[in-house]
Amino acid sequence: MICSSEISIPISGDQIIGVLFFDAGNSYKYLSNININELKKGAGLGVRIMTPMGLLGFDYAYGFDNDADNKWKFHFQFGSMF
């Protein structure tokens, strides 16, 4: 189960876009095990760059459910999710 919300802010036309996002999700083996209260949550900001080879994404996100000392993580994306 994935829930995602994103606000896009054009920086340079349609080629470079800034984003603010909130994501929540988890995986379950059976539908009967789904519990909305167990979704892992994160939020952050990033940049999307359209290239001739596809979409590149660079995000810096905060994991609300991560027990580690450093809850901020860098993420890289190639291609779109949908």
pLDDT in tens, 4-57: 999 999 999 889 999 999 999 999 999 999 998 889 999 999 999 999 989 999
Give the pLDDT score at 65.
86
Does some domain include residue 23?
Answer: yes
Does some domain include residue 68?
Answer: yes
Q: Give the phi and the psi of residue 64 in degrees, each rounded to 5.
A: -70, -25
Give the pLDDT score at 41.
93
Does some domain include residue 35?
Answer: no
Q: What is the DSSP letter of 79?
A: S
Give the pLDDT score at 21.
96
Give the pLDDT score at 70.
72
Give yes or no for residue 71 having a pLDDT over 90: no
Per-residue tokens: 71: 């809850």
Give the pLDDT score at 69.
73
Does some domain include residue 33?
Answer: no
Does some domain include residue 21?
Answer: yes
Does some domain include residue 13?
Answer: yes
Structural domain containing residue 8: 2-28+40-78
The number of distinct structural domains making up the chain is: 1
Per-residue tokens: 50: 């359209």
